[in-house]
Amino acid sequence: STQSTWGIAAQQLRFLNVHEYVGKNLMKEFGVDHQRGIVVEKIEDVIPATQQLPTDWYIVKSQILAGGRGKGKFDTGFEGGVKLARSPEAAKEYAEKMLGNTLVTHQTGPAGQKVSKLFIAECLDIQKEYYFAILLERKAGGPCLLASNQGGVDIETVAKENPEALITQPVDINVGLSQSVAEEFAKKLGFQGDYVTKAAEVMVRLYDMVIKHDATMVEINPLVETPDGRVVCIDAKLNFDDSAQFRQKSIFAHRDVTQEDAKEVKAEEFGLNYIALDGNIACLVNGAGLAMATMDIIGMHGGSPANFLDVGGGATKEAVTAAFQIILSDPNVEGILVNIFGGIMRCDVIAQGILGAVQNVGLKLPLVVRLAGTNQEIGAKILAESGLAITTAVDLDDAAVKIVAACGKK
């Protein structure tokens, strides 16, 4: 299927991903026991930060929007984005090797993400680790608790190699998560004695946080027991529903666009849906279904799409020009296929946008255009009279054949 071929289904889900320290601050608001720490952006702030923490050892954590930080590697060759420092001076030394450098993990892709912030955290004595998450589960029709007594490790590996170690508990969103249900879940997970009550309190408060702030996921790995009787969230990954931005302004104020694909950020400014892929043929299409069909047909003819770009039904000439600028900023692009079925989106507007883009940025790549629907004759006339080297196509199959031939098979 298209979704399995291009991986769009997972990528097209839009949500806000926030840094660990933002999640910890939210936990504090809800009374969730968590690993305390201080975020720093400058080397000179590291030692003062350690002096505000109650421990003698510290954890220096790179703040990027990806997992696998501990096993990651910096572009400088330095290994590990999470380090144990046994003194303030050691914390500073680690900070000097992290701040300003790019960390590559199994989730960032080869380009990695630049570390602009560090979370200097207290080092806690841990006697047992768990994994705990609250997710929106399609089968459950709402929130679902997911947990394992194998915490502090890659949960995907646990799910693959030891799936029976995962336990779940659907939650009726109309009822909420009660203390009693949370305690039963904590017992199933392996908590004992007074830790059961403490763990349940953490779960209930995290659930309340999820509901109040429209979170689509909260993942704690690990959730730990300490010898002094605490149940503490050591790490935190939180996602929030983009559709709730209008009522979660304080949360969305923490969005870090420097950690996102610059092309996708710019596309959002113009109301465009853009996702970068790794091919060489750029696509500019109106409608998500048509965009995915376009990518499939390019692949069928031996080509490889460089992006998913849906201009939608109300794109302006300026938005189309921006779309071309975004496409051309990708060095992998060797040709462009424009496939428009004009309904709300008029073909003449697309044609004018194409001309504006070419005049603004100068197009030296092969460009194949297929226009059909509203004002297609006007659009075709605009392109034909432009004097530009634009190849037109009678249908999508014809367009795919022509652009693949112009760019070469990949």
Q: Which residues form the catalytic set?
A: 131, 219
Number of residues that make up the chain: 410
Please, what sign has the CA dihedral across residues 139, 145, 147, 153?
positive
Strand order across the 113-114 sheet? 73-74, 102-104, 113-114
| Two structure tokens written together for 272 | 């465009």
What gap in Å lies between CA 287 and CA 345, rounded to an integer?
10
- Helical segments of 214-287, H only: 249-252, 262-269
- What is the distance, to the nearest Å, from the Cα of residue 249 to the centroid of all Cα atoms in its chain? 19
Task: Work out the burial of residue 166: count CB atoms within 10 Å of its CB; fewer than 13 is exposed, 13-18 middle, 19 or more buried.
Answer: middle
What are 383-389's contacts with CB under 8 Å, separation 24+? 383/351, 383/354, 383/355, 386/355, 386/358, 388/355, 388/358, 388/363
What gap in Å lies between CA 62 and CA 196, rounded to an integer?
32
DSSP string, 11-52: HT--EEEE-HHHHHHHHHHTT--B--EEEESSGGGHHHHHTT
Task: Work out the burial of residue 236: count CB atoms within 10 Å of its CB; fewer than 13 is exposed, 13-18 middle, 19 or more buried.
Answer: buried
- Among candidate residues 261, 318, 297, the one with its CA nearest the CA of residue 399: 297
Q: Evaluate whether 236 touches 23 at the Cβ level (below 8 Å).
A: yes
Give the three-class secondary structure for 226.
coil
What gap in Å lies between CA 230 and CA 178, rounded to an integer?
20
- CA neighbours closer than 13 Å in the CB half-sphere of residue 138: 0
